[in-house]
Chain A
Amino acid sequence: MTAAKRLIRELQSALGRRWVLHAPEDLLVYEYDATIDRALPQAVVLPESAQQVAQAVRIARRYGLPVTARGAGTGLSGGALACEGGVVIVMTRMNRVIKIDAENQLAVVEPGVINLDISKAAAPYGLYYAPDPSSQKACTIGGNIAENAGGPHCLRYGTTTNHVLALEIVTADGEIAEISATQAGYDLTGVLVGSEGTLAIVTKATLRLLHKPEATITLLAIFDRVSEASETVSAIISAGILPAALEMIDKNTMDAVEEFAHCGYPPDAGAVLLIEVEGLSEEAEEQANEVRSICEKFGVRELRTGTDPAERERLWAGRKSALGALGRKAPSYYILDGVVPRTKLPSVLAEVYQACDRFGFAVANVFHAGDGNLHPNVLFDERVPGATARVLELGEEIMRLCVEAGGSISGEHGVGFEKRSYMSWIFSEDDLEVMARLKAAFGAGDGFNPGKVFPTSKGCGEVSSHMRAAIAKAGPGAYV
């Protein structure tokens, strides 16, 4: 029997035949995530318990094969791809909400639970899980933890890392361990959240739940110029107001959205801000008034308010269909994800527009303005010869703009495979060495999710250019 056959045999006896995939046609559908990278694993397993995860890890390690965890495969940085082959461990069957502890406001869940399902399970207790990536109807909590996922409402409540209390993990040696943010000693959960599956596999998570606010008020503010809108953003934050969400849509995006969702954006407006405040009824009302007066100070031309869920949903409609609507403007777009200090927003935005002009591409900006998380979407046509290469060059330049302004190369989509070559822009050799040691300390070496995060690894599978990763074709409703 060949080694490959023995591997499958062993995995089968640990997990059951049905949950070990090895036929070429079955492996094929695990070669992608939401990027356009591809990499084929040798085997895919779908465990139903931490014990099975541990067994699969041990077996893979015995055969010298790398292991890559996978949630729903909605990642935007190629994180779930088996870049160097090996075994992919899919967490979709481990999707139980184990318990909702209303008294202590926490949820204990398996890693394959869908983000939104946690809030659904908590709803009867008046609780919810705050981090809300736009993919929340599809992505798993395991993937969120690995990518430290964020969303519009993370401005006030923080990203995933602020909501993880404890984890059960399987280490690279195939040991099951419990770590907690509150126990004495190192805060290892903080290290694990955002580690993109390179340190350990999460098999259970204890998450913080929040009380649903008594009142939520959504404001939509229309400005003549982007600069006015970005200054308003800075002013709101410096006034000490912390909105639940603070999102910006620029002119190009508005044009596309208007055609599609008919939001009533004036054709000559320059930018729209969506500002959501929440809290006790009075407190929310007070904050909304403060926000209104700041908007007025910066020359807002129109303000709309929504208080009930239907009105609020209407105000959000433009934002939510933004990326999808961009599909009407060009057959492809390249979603960038960078962070800049809020005070630099106006100047960096201006530079982004200039850079795109210089390269001759239209750009649409729709992003989490409140925390300086930019998502410039460069519109282009993949079929035009040379266009992709130029877009990639432009993307690199925009990332440099962010870094030079004192920002970073990823707000929420992760470094993964797409942006690992930029790591050296923000981290020194020493920094990277520390990270590598951390990885070694977890015993992970190259065994877990190789080819991700670190700039030194080999390239992924059949991909011609690592940067092709985040080039996605637009569609109505895709939303970042």
Chain B
Amino acid sequence: MPGGPIHQSAFGSEADLSRCVHCGLCLQHCPTYLETGLETESPRGRLHLIRALSEGRIDLAGNTMGHLDMCLQCRNCEAVCPSGVPYGRIMEHARAAVIESRRAPVPWRLRSLFLREVIARPGRLRALAAALRFYRRSGLRALAESIPLLRDRALLAPSIAGRPFTGTGVLARPKGEPVARVALLTGCIMPLAYGRVHRATVRVLAANGCEVIAPVDQSCCGALQAHNGDRQTAQALARRNIDAFLEDGCDFVVVNSAGCGAAMKEYGELLSQDAVYSERARVLAARVKDIHEFLLELPFRPPTGRLEASVTFQDPCHLAHAQRIREAPRRILQSIPGVQFVEMEHADRCCGSAGVYSFTQPQMSLQLLQRRIDEVRASGAAVVATANPGCMAQIEAGLRRNRLPVRVGHVIELLDAAYRAEHR
């Protein structure tokens, strides 16, 4: 057989895989199953395929890799599974096994290379961002989006606009004694694509009495690399962050990007086999807080400034399903005077962004995006709030595609606007 059996242990523990009892209760939560009706594109099916791979019943030839690749890794299935199947972990290990088998198809390898050599390298990433900024400003994007053949791919290229965020060291200090000393994860994409969200985050933390720092030696969190099977790079990045953040002795690491927060909370697991770092990884992971949960655990100061808008919230998958945080962002939005909060249907279903999925599976990505945009439209909201750069970019693209006059913002940007309105 061309692939040859992959050694079972490469796929994670038998204990993980055997927790699936095939009850099917996850099926109606899986976006790709809902689109296709195919068991091969379902959580239960993928788990069965991974198991079959690990047992050598099938190999990597044929459609198997396509089915693994079609998975968004949104972890909606994991959040609803009554048996507690750790789907995210299983899929990460499976993709790692594919990459390590050296039989991964070319697109998989290119993706890995890109994530390792561009996304995880700040200098190269800045150059790419500059190119994308030029692409947008020069009108090239508008041109590409007007050409039917290019339109859909062009749409999903991230929109790089506004000033990047470059702050390091101490970013804010409250007037009195700080209630907490927090370190901000700046990350890879957020500071370039949405520098304004970081600036808002720093102001919001300060308004709630926190001292905010950004350790200079921190790096990309490693989530994208881990999701795509490059655990080695992810582990190297995690070690750098552990050093950088523990060095600074902050009380908490605050993260405003759902995907990064989820990944950092799982550092303990990512480095569980690392003789030197496993303990420190657990220590750091325990300090990681999503910005919304963090604010509500402080004595949160509700804003008094007004913001007149109807707002809906689209749950980032790695906030709702991986971190199981659903209420906090909604409560923050509802605390803003003047905001009319409306729930859109299927708010917690994936928008199709899913890391680099919008590039690797553009068709499914767009199909899912269109569903979400239709639901946004039906909600009648004027603003879609979310909490992850990928989701923001994806929904912005969908709104452009549908010429829908709806704005997209991070929850924290809206909160920041309300605080700032207090001074007017």
Contact = CB atoms under 8 A, between A and B. Distances in A.
A137 B25 contact: yes
A73 B81 CA distance: 16
A95 B23 contact: no
Nearest to A324: B82
Contact of A475 (B38, B40, B83): B83
B21 A475 contact: yes
Contacts of A137: 25, 28
A474 B62 contact: no
A472 B82 CA distance: 13
Main secondary structure of the interface of B (DSSP, over half): loop
A316 interface: no
Interface size, A (range): 35 or more
Given A25-B64, A135-B23, A138-B24, A327 B49 contact: no
B380 interface: no
A10 to B, nearest CB: 21
Contact of B25 (A35, A93, A135, A473): A135
A34 B22 contact: yes
B324 interface: no
A25 to B, nearest CB: 5
A223 interface: no
Contacts of B27: 72, 138
Contact of A25 (B19, B23, B37, B52): B52
Given A29-B49, A33-B22, A46-B38, A474 B83 contact: yes
Interface in B122-178: none
Contact of A24 (B18, B37, B62): B62
A478 interface: yes
Contacts of A324: 82-83
Interface residues of B, number: 30
Interface in A78-133: 90, 92-93, 95, 112, 114
B84 interface: yes
A30 B83 contact: no
A476 interface: yes
A30 B58 contact: no
A477 to B, nearest CB: 3
Interface in A49-71: none
B25 A477 contact: yes
A200 to B, nearest CB: 22
B28 A24 contact: no
Interface string A450-480: 0000000000000000000000111111110
Given A112-B37, A327-B83, A475-B84, A28 B48 contact: yes
A477 B42 CA distance: 20
Interface in B1-32: 18-19, 21-25, 27-28
B45 interface: yes
Interface centre among A28, A32, A33, A137 (most CB of B within 10 A): A28
Contacts of A138: 23-25, 27-28
Interface of A: 21, 23-26, 28-30, 32-36, 46, 72-74, 90, 92-93, 95, 112, 114, 135, 137-139, 323-324, 327, 472-479
Interface of B: 18-19, 21-25, 27-28, 37-40, 42, 44-45, 48-49, 52, 57-58, 62-64, 67, 81-85
Given A73-B39, A475-B84, 6 more contacts: A25-B49, A26-B40, A29-B49, A92-B37, A473-B18, A476-B84
Give the 6 A-B CB pairs with smallest separation, nearest first: A475-B83, A477-B82, A92-B37, A29-B45, A74-B24, A29-B39
16 contacts: A21-B40, A23-B63, A24-B62, A25-B49, A28-B57, A30-B39, A33-B22, A34-B21, A35-B22, A112-B37, A473-B21, A474-B21, A475-B19, A475-B83, A478-B21, A478-B23
